[in-house]
Amino acid sequence: MSAVNLSYEFFPPKSERGQKNLLKVAQKLSRFNPGFVSVTYGAGGTTQAPTFDAVTAMSNAGLSTAAHLTCVDASRAQIDAIVDQYYHAGIRRIVALRGDSPDGIDAAYRPTPDGYAYASDLVAGIKSRRDIDISVSAYPERHPESGTWDAEIDNLKRKADAGADRAITQYFFKAETFLSFLEKVRAAGVTLPIVPGIMLQPNFEGLCNMSAKCGVAVPGDVRARFDRITADKDALKAETTQFARGLIEDLRAGGVTDFHLYTLNKSGIAAQISRSLTMPRRQNRVA
């Protein structure tokens, strides 16, 4: 099978101690040579400073780092200033998103009057100003606000046409979900590279709650698999590792080579999976 390319996603810690810990986690994972790491942007732009601090700390530590950025609650001028700030700090990667309403994921999204309305507008805005590599989102089970597959894929096409370099997907539980989405996207003539997002959340109950909010189906057999072990944290971690590993193997069998791991700022599960994917068997056993 072809070699894999990995990227890791983190969220911005709130405290200075959290920032230091995160840097350690990122440095541990850097041994697996990720193409890049990324740091999310809090809902409503609430983590602008912590995101900037985490992004620049990782970049200064030698990791190619992407800053997530959303359109929420900010004018174009404010967003442009943030982009420039990143550019001047040496950051050349952005994950460009629309974001959700500051009132919550369930509340109706309203574009800021003088802001970028959708992710495709943000991509165009960034590309018109700076030479920056841009990742965007994609949804193998459709974004909850996309009424039809045509709407979903038209949106992805708009983002590709605006200059996006790749899309990273929402997490999902079955390889077929991603592979059939990819088929639809390619059939529509969209050639943008699409990287599956792999969730490493061992708190399965919490993950089910989040999935319900963001339109991700939890298949019955997956639920049954995790329901057997909800009380034991170590067993849940082991099952999460095994599940994600299996999902990645199924995707690799379908020809996928790039994977974006949602790390939840922990190195344990991400390192185990990365080691098994990137290191020769012997080294993998010893490590």
Query: Does residue 5 touch ligand FAD according to CB under 6 A?
Result: no
Contact 126, 165 (CB under 8 A): no
Contact string (CB under 6 A) for ligand FAD, positions 83-122, x = contact: ------------x-xxxx-----------------xxx--
Structure-block tokens of residue 11: 């969220």
DSSP for 43-72, written as a single string: GGGTTHHHHHHHHHHHHHTT--EEEEEE-T
Chain residues 126-145 in contact with ligand FAD, contact rule CB under 6 A = 137, 143, 145
Least distance to ligand FAD, CB of residue 280, Å:
30
Least distance to ligand FAD, CB of residue 231, Å:
31
Q: Residue 197: helix, strand or coil by DSSP? A: strand
Contact 14, 43 (CB under 8 A): no
Select from 48, 155, 240, 272 the one that contacts ligand FAD (CB under 6 A): 155
Question: Can 9 be counted among the known catalytic residues?
Answer: yes
Contact 38, 68 (CB under 8 A): yes
Nearest to 43 by CA among 164, 210, 269: 210
Least distance to ligand FAD, CB of residue 105, Å:
7
Euclidean distance between CA atoms 208 and 216, whole angstroms: 9
Query: Does residue 204 touch ligand FAD according to CB under 6 A?
Result: no
Query: Does residue 43 touch ligand FAD according to CB under 6 A?
Result: yes
Least distance to ligand FAD, CB of residue 129, Å:
19
Nearer to ligand FAD, 112 or 146 (CB): 146
DSSP structure class, residue 170: P
Euclidean distance between CA atoms 171 and 8, whole angstroms: 13
Binding part of the chain for ligand FAD, among 82-90, 147-155, 200-208, 220-228 by CB under 6 A, reads: 147-155
Binding part of the chain for ligand FAD, among 56-64, 150-158, 180-188, 219-227 by CB under 6 A, reads: 150-158
Q: Cβ of 91: how many Cβ atoms within 10 Å?
A: 22
Contact string (CB under 6 A) for ligand FAD, positions 51-90, x = contact: -----------------x-x--------------------
Q: Is the dihedral of CA 210, 213, 215, 217 positive or negative?
A: positive
